[in-house]
Amino acid sequence: MATVDFIPVAGDDWYQRRRQDAEGKFFRAVADSLGKTGAGDSSRQGIYLFAADGTPLGYKNAGGHPVVMREVLRDALRDFARLPATKRTPGAVKIGDPGPVDPAYDHTPPPGGLVLKVYTRILDFHSGAYVKGTCEAKGGDKAARDHVWITADEVQQLAPARPVVGFRYPLPEKVADRIARFHLIDITRGEPPAWGKTEVRAKRFTLRVVSATPEAIELRLDGEALMATAGDVSTAERGFDARVVGDLRYLPGKKTFDRFNVVAVGTHWGNFPHTEDARPGKSLVGISFELATDLSNERIPPQGIRNPDIYFGRD
């Protein structure tokens, strides 16, 4: 029903309720008309149903039972059918030029850079192997998704200065810091804050050339990182102690990578107001990184890029 009778559109409420352009104003007008006025800077998240001109048809906050959501969809279809033809006939509503977008809330992947897909999942360890984890939190056993953005300059810094087997060098500092602070984190139950600079207690990411030809240079990544909210890690309310390994392949002729397969596995612990119901004690979390293709949904900005200067290490 949702994909046949409606046009599904996904957006980040954090951006939409702040952006000062036609899209933001339209979103806030629809939200206001459905009673989600967002006093101050409060959330307006949820599922909105409306006609092309913004006529409200229904609202349901996310996370409800599918049966309830289907009923909301049916009610919206019934109300849509009652609208005058000027509001529901194809082509009746004319959409003008939206004008300039608000650059503060319109992020696009860096030209010439890399986009990595990130998948985070809780794990258990049984019979000598990592397996899908279980937890009490609703949806907490499902994989969470995010993206890493790497700039064109950083891509070249990732390439080895000496394409000789055995040559070792560190991951560029800004890339290492970005991965540790914004992507080595348990996001399976919501949106936790990024690690602060001082909360990265230790990190080491080393690349080693394992084979080199004029066409391709194979690299091995080895490292670890420790993030914690207190200097005395044993007393930290939240933290992640991770081991990181991976295989990368650089193409000198194209000056880019066609492989970036990295896995981080470690123990994560602690709660945050937006990521409650963590498993007790220290529990296993696995995070994988791989190159994205040029699909539109892979252009979704990283969750941590809401302040680009901090995300890219320009602060």
pLDDT reported for residue 24: 94
| Domain extents in the chain | 13-104, 107-311
pLDDT reported for residue 137: 84
Supply 180's token pair. Answer: 């540790």
pLDDT reported for residue 63: 67
pLDDT digits (tens, 9 = 90+) for 119-168: 999 999 999 999 999 988 877 888 999 999 999 999 999 999 999 999 99
DSSP letter assigned to residue 272: B
Q: What is the spatial distance between Cα 271 and Cα 251, in angstroms, rounded to a whole number?
A: 42
> Model-level pTM?
0.90
pLDDT reported for residue 202: 96
- Characterize the bridge pairing of strands 129-132 and 217-228: unpaired
Q: What is the spatial distance between Cα 260 and Cα 264, in angstroms, rounded to a whole number?
A: 13
pLDDT reported for residue 40: 64
Residue-by-residue pLDDT tens, the chain, 315 positions:
778 889 999 889 999 999 999 999 999 999 999 988 776 667 898 999 999 999 999 999 876 788 999 999 999 999 999 999 999 888 889 988 999 999 999 999 999 999 999 999 999 999 999 999 998 887 788 899 999 999 999 999 999 999 999 999 999 999 999 999 999 999 998 888 999 999 999 999 999 999 999 999 999 999 999 999 999 999 999 999 999 999 999 999 999 999 999 999 999 999 888 788 889 999 999 999 999 987 777 889 999 999 999 999 998
pLDDT reported for residue 222: 98
Q: For residue 247, which of 237, 261, 236, 266 has the smallest C-alpha distance?
A: 261
Number of H helices, E strands in the chain: 7, 11
Scanning the chain, the segments in alpha helix (DSSP H) are 13-16, 22-33, 66-81, 85-88, 152-158, 173-178, 308-311
Q: What is the spatial distance between Cα 180 and Cα 262, in angstroms, rounded to a whole number?
A: 13
pLDDT reported for residue 252: 97
Q: CB atoms < 10 A from the CB of 148, how many?
A: 23
**How distant, in Å, are the alpha carbons of 159, 271, 279, 303 from that of 275?**
37, 6, 11, 14
Strand-pair partners of 226: 202, 241
pLDDT reported for residue 59: 93
Q: What is the spatial distance between Cα 177 and Cα 154, in angstroms, rounded to a whole number?
A: 12
